[in-house]
């Protein structure tokens, strides 16, 4: 099986179209993460002398310094250097899930031509880091999976229309569970089954050290405090609206409520770049970007499929994989994730408190 890798790449160009200091942003990201030029050189595969040349060339082009050297304390990016480094991470965070989906599609198409084996499972899922880990685990073992990342509302429609074999969704644990489940319940088929993957933590992503002292949703109403949200139709947007409703808060009082990003990582990068003071999302990207995190609730992430699929060989292999100790260990290392019940199956209608299924689900 061939593996397809699609990476994000962007480039600054001068007015005449010529590239402006190639590899500069990778070096700046390395300095931002490590705090030293030497470590950044190692991660970017550059010599120390060449890296200094890149920095000097960039500073001449911009007319401003990019890095401040601190005696005995390594190197620190200037405001301009920080903007460039965060721009790189925002681009990657926003596009990575889309590119992963495309890579998966291309892999499956190539495998379909080259191999006579059974077709890949078609999975459409709300983006999450356990799913991301699962996909890479499958790819490393040359197990084909046709994965598309879409919003929660979109994946439900896809399963109803048989455009995929299984979907990935999430529901909060606790007081908000019934309200969130009610949003989906009428669309849950009578013969659908729920397969657990992991629990995970959602909360407020804030700047390092939480300088605005944001403790909960009520603080988001403060004048001058900027927020970044997830896009309409996503399960996380629905969840945040329920959090506001529970707290008796009006979304219109939150500056930036309509500002939307399409992934948890993009929300974190938006906050990290200084464009917002807080966002709502998972703990994983907050920790990866060195940001603060205020936990608000836990939720279950799971798959839904028709009962008939459970007997298929490809699905049997998939279920066995969910019990793999190595996979569970990888997921458990994600901040806020717990895969203890991965692979457990239950009735989807019972989990969602679904009413009598509509005829559309029996297509």
Q: Which residue has the higher pLDDT, 109 or 322?
A: 322
Alpha-carbon distance 74 to 134, whole Å? 37
DSSP 228-245: EEEPTTSHHHHHHHHHHH
Alpha-carbon distance 363 to 361, whole Å? 6
Alpha-carbon distance 309 to 166, whole Å? 9
**121 touches 266 (CB < 8 A):** no
Beta bridge partners of 301: 170, 198
Cβ-based neighbour number of residue 313 at 10 Å: 8
* Chain position carrying tokens 């990575």: 96
pLDDT score for 222: 96
* Chain position carrying tokens 């991301």: 132
What the block records as the tokens of 153 is 């509302």
Closest CA to 238 of 165, 184, 186: 184
pLDDT score for 71: 66
Q: How many CA atoms lie within 13 A of 132 on its CB side?
A: 16
Provide CATH code, domain 1-96.
1.10.10.10
pLDDT tens across 30-54, in order?
Answer: 898 888 888 988 888 889 899 989 8
pLDDT tens across 58-108, in order?
Answer: 898 888 999 987 666 678 889 898 888 888 888 888 888 778 878 777 877
Domain ranges of the chain: 1-96, 118-362
Alpha-carbon distance 213 to 223, whole Å? 14
pLDDT score for 265: 93
Mean pLDDT, residues 126-153 taken together: 90
Identify the CATH assignment for 118-362 out of 3.30.70.20, 3.40.50.12280, 3.40.190.290, 3.30.1330.10.
3.40.190.290
pLDDT band at 363; cut points 50, 70, 90: very low
pLDDT score for 291: 96
Conformation bin of residue 210: beta by default, left when phi > 0, alpha when psi is -120 to 50: left
């Amino acid at each position: 099986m061939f593996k397809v890798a699609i990476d994000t790449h962007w480039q600054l160009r001068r007015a005449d179209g010529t590239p402006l200091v190639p590899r500069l942003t990778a070096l700046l990201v390395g300095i931002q993460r490590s705090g030293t030029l030497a470590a950044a050189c190692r991660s970017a595969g550059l010599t120390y002398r060449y890296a200094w040349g890149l920095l000097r060339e960039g500073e001449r082009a911009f007319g401003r310094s990019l890095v401040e050297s601190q005696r005995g304390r390594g190197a620190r990016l200037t405001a301009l250097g920080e903007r460039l480094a965060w721009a790189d991470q925002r681009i990657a965070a926003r596009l990575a899930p889309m590119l992963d989906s495309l890579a998966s599609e291309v892999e499956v198409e190539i495998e379909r031509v080259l191999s006579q084996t059974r077709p890949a499972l078609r999975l459409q899922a709300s983006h999450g880091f356990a799913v991301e880990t699962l996909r890479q685990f499958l790819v490393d073992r040359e197990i084909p999976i046709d994965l598309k990342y879409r919003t929660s509302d979109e994946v439900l429609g896809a399963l109803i229309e048989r455009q995929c074999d299984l979907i990935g969704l999430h529901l909060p644990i606790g007081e908000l569970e019934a309200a969130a489940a009610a949003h989906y319940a009428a669309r849950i088929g009578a013969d659908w089954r729920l397969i657990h993957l992991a629990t995970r933590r959602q909360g407020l992503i804030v700047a390092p050290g939480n300088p605005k002292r944001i403790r909960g949703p009520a603080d988001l109403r403060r004048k001058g405090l900027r927020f970044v949200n997830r896009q309409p139709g996503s399960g996380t947007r629905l969840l945040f609206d329920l959090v506001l409703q529970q707290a008796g808060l009006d979304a219109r009082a939150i500056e930036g409520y309509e500002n939307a990003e399409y992934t948890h990582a993009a929300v974190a990068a938006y906050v990290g770049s200084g464009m917002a003071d807080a966002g709502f999302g998972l703990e994983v990207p907050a920790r990866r970007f060195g940001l603060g995190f205020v936990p608000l609730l836990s939720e279950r992430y799971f798959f839904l499929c028709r009962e008939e699929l459970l007997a298929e060989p490809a699905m049997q292999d998939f279920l066995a994989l969910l019990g793999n100790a190595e996979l569970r260990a990888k997921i458990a290392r994600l901040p806020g994730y717990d895969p203890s019940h991965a692979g457990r199956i239950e009735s989807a209608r019972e989990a969602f408190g679904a009413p009598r299924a509509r005829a559309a689900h029996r297509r």
